[in-house]
Structure 1
């Protein structure tokens, strides 16, 4: 199979898989949130939630396997597409797929209705909100029963996540477990990256607007 055929099949698969992957992300997020927040569920219901979460993971595993097959790169696909590998291995990042679902819906309605900079800021904001919610759930699950923990409620976890993603870091509540701190590092990195995307896009948008206004006014003395 030549490169052009691979690329065409890759693009066709991307178009077909975007909606199922977005739905799988929503199902995973709902199942995981219920599993963490609804404490004291009967074992049968908890098992059902685990099956739902596992089924969502299976959808992402199939998508990853198809991309691997279509790439024709063998093990080189893992390192070349490290972000896809990371997303498949870390369920914390799956909800970002919901942003792609939003993009697919907009395109099927006749194309994006927002400008490039507005779309970038919107997608970055949605990604931050989804990652923040997932991170708050994961940290709450890791910290709530730990000795000497300061994150005892989901509200504490949400407050800590907001201060971490915005790089404020008040320090009034902090994770004490190893897993909680690993999640904290990931949220710090994501917070810096998403904040940079939003501020960069907003600055670029302002510069374009000012440049356009200057061009419309014409040179001085004209």
Structure 2
């Protein structure tokens, strides 16, 4: 039986608005970081969009906390939502929930669980990598002795960090950059583990089905 609690009904209503807010946040932040020579009204408009998108997340968090009836226990039970609300780096990941919501509204998903996990992990990695690249570039490209001087350097660093390769040719030297690096390392390990585990589970299911199909008939 489908969950029809007040929290679930609220989440169905706001999944798409929150995804739009996430996209607007990411686009505005990218313009602020990469468009250093923008005309004066544009940076102010981008900052207004950033504040507005953050306000949307705060309102959503407050409403879900109230509807859940958990009170002060809500942050502990929903710690990931709390982290996403507080850390701008993770807000774009909310976009991934739109795909899941669309799948639920159209009945059973077409893809098996393992495939969906790998798709979600891939989308999350791309969004996190782009957001981390922007943030690290913002703090690093003018820092003394920095090795990340261009946005391309930042993207290369984010890809190698998410992939847990860590070539070491470019690395953050500022405190905010290193904090972002630690967070991205943890996200990379978690996403890699999710993909590896899902792929291994899919392979085991294939082998089990093949073994069952090719085995001797039961007496």
Identify the TM-score tier after normalising by the shorter chain: over 0.9
CA distance in 1, matches of 2:32, 2:216: 63
Classify the secondary structure of the residue corresponding to 2:119: helix
Q: Give the corresponding residue for 1:125.
A: 122
CA distance in 2, matches of 1:151, 1:52: 27
CA distance in 2, matches of 1:12, 1:105: 14
Q: Give the corresponding residue for 1:165.
A: 162
CA distance in 1, matches of 2:103, 2:77: 29
Q: Give the corresponding residue for 2:38.
A: 41
Does structure 1 retain, via aligned residues, the 8 Å contact 2:6–2:68? Answer: no
CA distance in 1, matches of 2:77, 2:116: 27
CA RMSD of aligned residues (A): 1.8
Q: What displacement does 1:111 show? A: 4.3
Q: Give the corresponding residue for 2:94.
A: 97
Q: Deviations over 1:83-142 (max 9, x none)?
A: 111000001001111110122233444542211110010001110111001000000001
Q: What displacement does 1:10 show? A: 0.9
Q: What displacement does 1:199 show? A: 0.5
Alignment of structure 1 residues 60-139 onto 2, 5 Å: 60-139=57-136
Q: Does 1:8 align with 2:5?
A: yes
Q: Give the corresponding residue for 1:3.
A: none
Classify the secondary structure of the residue corresponding to 2:71: coil
Aligned length: 217
Q: Give the corresponding residue for 2:153.
A: 156
Structure 1 gaps of 5+ residues are 1-5
CA distance in 1, matches of 2:48, 2:218: 72
CA distance in 1, matches of 2:22, 2:148: 26
CA distance in 2, matches of 1:83, 1:70: 17
Q: Give the corresponding residue for 2:177.
A: 180
Structure 2 gaps of 5+ residues are none
Classify the secondary structure of the residue corresponding to 1:75: helix
CA distance in 1, matches of 2:202, 2:82: 33
Q: Does 1:21 align with 2:18?
A: yes
Q: What displacement does 1:73 show? A: 2.3
Which residue among 23, 26, 31 is the counterpart of 2:28? Answer: 31
